Amino acid sequence: MTEENKLIIPTEQIMNKIFLIRDEKVMLDIHLAEIYGVETRALKQAVRRNMELFPSDFMFVLNDTEIDIMVSQNVIPSKQHLGGANPFVFTETGVAMLSSVLKSKRAREMNVAIMRAFVALRKMLLNHTEMKLEIEEIKKKLQNQDKNIELVFTYLDELMEKQENPKPRKPIGFKKDKE
């Protein structure tokens, strides 16, 4: 295996490091630093030097409640794992911007892999949404069929009732004269 092939991280492995926080798909600074092959401290320092490139829709800092949730979901082992600082989280656009701040070749290569992971995740979610819509459509059809079947049974009950209690009929045919 060449050195270049060793650098590429499988898309599935990257997708496992994408989380939903504040209704955004994001990656933690710890995981990005690991993927880019830099220390978390160095990544944060590069971002702080270029804060104008990272508006709130590109990057935000987790609050204590969000950190507790991440710990409880085993995303991070403990608060101590963060080294006492609240982690930066980067949206897809923030991750793209990181490649301009971290100028190493590995950062550029990993950025491409991360972008592919975000695209793959988006496709999975789109497929999931389409499936959900199809299931809802099937449910509606089944509900209508339930109503139709119920109507058929109602008609059958009415017919059965008429058959059990027939109305007296007038005799038909030839009548004999009374003598």
All structural domains of the chain with their residue ranges: 3-125
The reported pLDDT for the residue numbered 1 is 37
* Domain 3-125 is found in CATH 3.30.1330: no
Cβ neighbours for 89, distance < 8 A, ≥ 6 positions apart: 19, 21, 26, 27, 28, 29, 59, 60, 61, 62
Query: What pTM was estimated for this model as a whole?
Result: 0.57
Residue with tokens 């949206």: 91
* Averaged pLDDT, 77-86: 69
Average pLDDT over the chain, rounded to an integer: 78
Cα distance between residue 148 and residue 140, in whole Å = 12
pLDDT digits (tens, 9 = 90+) for 49-78: 988 988 888 899 988 888 888 777 766 666
Burial tier of 163 (Cβ tally within 10 Å: 0-12, 13-18, 19+): exposed
pLDDT digits (tens, 9 = 90+) for 2-42: 444 445 567 777 778 888 888 888 888 888 888 888 888 88
